[in-house]
Structure 1
Amino acid sequence: MTLSSVVHRFSRWFTRRDNTSPVCLEVRPDGIAWTRASAAAGVQAGFVECLPAKRQEALRTLVSDRSWEGAPAVIVLPIDQYQVFQVERPEGIEDNELADALKWKLKDFLDFSPAEAVSDVFPFPEDASRGRGPLVNVVAARKSLVQELITLVEEADLELECIDIAELALRNLASRMANSERGVALVHLRERYGQMVVCRGDTLYLSRRLDVSHEELRDAGRQENAVQSLALEIQRSMDYFESQLGQVPPATIRLVARDSVLPLTSMLSSYVAANIETVAWSEFGLEQELDSRCVPAWGAGLVAEEHA
């Protein structure tokens, strides 16, 4: 598979070519998160710890041990591997030319040349533009990073089917929760940061990085400040959703955290106007709690899981 056939159309990659359930991977600095769903085995997920220099060996071993040779694969980019911008959609440009045309508008915002970027677009909700004209979300990532991930997958004897991004993977998860007219807010806490998305149905309205680490939340000396900082970022995101996007915010925020023992729901509830609830994995038909490190990979696979 050539680079040009993969990197120019993120949005088209969400359409599966067949009913074969893909292997979904998120490649991280500390390892590789993976999930795969099937009618026979249900949802399988895991995390392989490895240094970047050992990724290829680790993925090859995983593929061999699970007999995945030749299987379709989906790569999920974490939010620190790409950027998303809201850009006014110009008139007279065809959909298939939009991504390449708009990436040059980002030259003052990227820390690398647009010539070294791969890009695509996904819709921005019309009812949130607030009179600014039609907008689109433009995704930009370094071409060298994308090519490295393509090579990693192909040399492990997997067939790359698409590349997804973290907020759209979380959108897939949020869209399957009890979804009222006010939508769903989902917070996913990772080791070094968190991510919040607000969706209504299949439409992503808002995505925010939350700058708080698992270590800060666990440390007794820093915990109170970390919880207050996290709550403030969450509340600001909800306020932005209401004041700048003109939407009624969800009444409940769903939380996925690595440490289920830490009473974060009650700790955050003191500072956030909305209710805070942890995600119940049983509502997705899972018998066991999903490793939070695998959530984006699993979310990316939910599109295909409907057909598995």
Structure 2
Amino acid sequence: MAKTGWGFFSKRRRGPVGHVALSLSMDRLALVVRPTDGRPVRAYERAAGADVGATLQSLVREADAVGMDCEWVLEPGAYSLQQVDKPAVPPAEWVQALRWKVRDLIGFPIDDAVMNAFEVPGLDSRGRPPTLYLAVARKDELRPRIAQIEASGLQLSSIGISDLAWAEAVRTLSPGDDSQAALVIDARGGTMLAMRENTLFVARRFEFDGDDQRVLREPQAGRTERLFERIALELQRTLDYFDRTHQRPPPRRLLLLSGLEGLEGLGASLRNSLGLDVQSVSPESAWPELSALPEAARVRVAALSAVAMGAGRA
């Protein structure tokens, strides 16, 4: 996970009593707790309720996580991901060097932007300029959440993004050096990753529109098939981009992770339409703490387990 460059973390903290990976949205809270005293890892998910801050405080107390270091993993809607040319400066100076470039890519003043960057591998070896992924969020939207996290008793130590959290999860769930893709479906849309040699090369996102949301609420054979076709089209665009940009064979293996009910048949549809080897896995096989959650929630929280297990071990 890329954990520097956001500009919120300058003070040194005492040694942690444990590590927490947290996701926080208007409708759901989830956290995975890894104590440092030998107690087992635990996973939780709750509806956010009318007062997100109060729900988080209650959940942190229930998890006995007060005082633990916390990585907050931003949901896709909380940041944008831009691909930009890599500046010719040391990594610690990437963000500052790119601030002027991002002015025309975001819809708010640059002074309200907070950013982090990570490298897109392999392009320079193929005669193309090396590039970075630049994650951009709005300070004014993060600050209220940061206040809620600190008020809950957690010690916010880093902010991550869901794309990198899911890449970490894929490395555990489907290891291998060959090219592979992953598709993570959530209530708002899908995150598509293309990886090779356990490294993230491409990350793309698509959002469900109103018609898609209606199909998910009220599945019907014909409409569900059209939704599957749209998902296949978005996935094919990602595979084509990987092939065109990185000049490597596109992935033929797809790890499908759906945190939604009602999408039975999606794997078979993608297998038939794209000729992919579609694999579905049980995240609890890698992270037993997820077994305590409902089946769909195990997928939704899997990336947090990957983050929590890697926290403090770099």
How does the TM-score come out when normalised to structure 1?
Answer: 0.85
Pair 132,17 (structure 1): closer, same or farther in 2 beyond 3 Å: farther
Answer yes or no: is 1:80 the counterpart of 2:77.
Answer: yes
Answer yes or no: is 1:241 the counterpart of 2:242.
Answer: yes
Q: How far does residue 133 in structure 1 lie from its aligned partner after superposition?
A: 1.7
Pair 257,75 (structure 1): closer, same or farther in 2 beyond 3 Å: same
Counterpart position of 1:222: 223
Indicate if the aligned counterparts of 2:189 and 2:205 stay in contact, CA closer than 8 A: yes
Indicate if the aligned counterparts of 1:175 and 1:201 stay in contact, CA closer than 8 A: no
Q: How far does residue 108 in structure 1 lie from its aligned partner after superposition?
A: 1.1
Counterpart position of 2:131: 135
Q: How far does residue 146 in structure 1 lie from its aligned partner after superposition?
A: 2.1
Answer yes or no: is 1:99 the counterpart of 2:95.
Answer: yes
Answer yes or no: is 1:192 the counterpart of 2:188.
Answer: yes
Deviations 1:129-187 (A, max 9, x none): 74232222211110112222221111111101110000000011111234333233211
C-alpha distance in 1 between matches for 2:274 and 2:282: 20
The alignment-based identity, stated in percent, is 26
Counterpart position of 2:60: 63
Indicate if the aligned counterparts of 1:182 and 1:251 stay in contact, CA closer than 8 A: no
Answer yes or no: is 1:157 the counterpart of 2:149.
Answer: no
- Relative contact order, CA 8 A, sep 6+: which one is greater? 1
Counterpart position of 1:279: 281
Pair 20,277 (structure 1): closer, same or farther in 2 beyond 3 Å: farther
Give the SS at the match of 1:126.
coil
Give the SS at the match of 2:273.
coil
C-alpha distance in 2 between matches for 1:246 and 1:23: 39
C-alpha distance in 1 between matches for 2:124 and 2:181: 16
Q: How far does residue 103 in structure 1 lie from its aligned partner after superposition?
A: 2.2
Indicate if the aligned counterparts of 2:5 and 2:95 stay in contact, CA closer than 8 A: no
1:1-308 counterparts in 2 under 5 A?
Answer: 7-8=6-7, 21-37=18-34, 40=38, 42-51=40-49, 54-91=51-88, 93-127=89-123, 130-212=126-208, 213=212, 216-217=215-216, 219-220=219-220, 221-259=222-260, 262-281=264-283, 283-286=285-288, 288=291, 289=295, 291-304=298-311
Give the SS at the match of 1:186.
strand
Give the SS at the match of 2:104.
coil
C-alpha distance in 1 between matches for 2:266 and 2:283: 17
Larger mean Cα displacement after TM superposition, 115-124 or 164-173: 115-124
C-alpha distance in 1 between matches for 2:163 and 2:142: 17
C-alpha distance in 1 between matches for 2:168 and 2:31: 16
Indicate if the aligned counterparts of 1:107 and 1:114 stay in contact, CA closer than 8 A: yes
C-alpha distance in 1 between matches for 2:194 and 2:15: 30
Query: How much is the aligned-residue C-alpha RMSD, in angstroms?
Result: 2.8
- Uncovered stretches (5+) of structure 1, i.e. residues with no partner: none
Give the SS at the match of 1:175.
helix
Indicate if the aligned counterparts of 1:177 and 1:184 stay in contact, CA closer than 8 A: no
The count of aligned residue pairs is 297
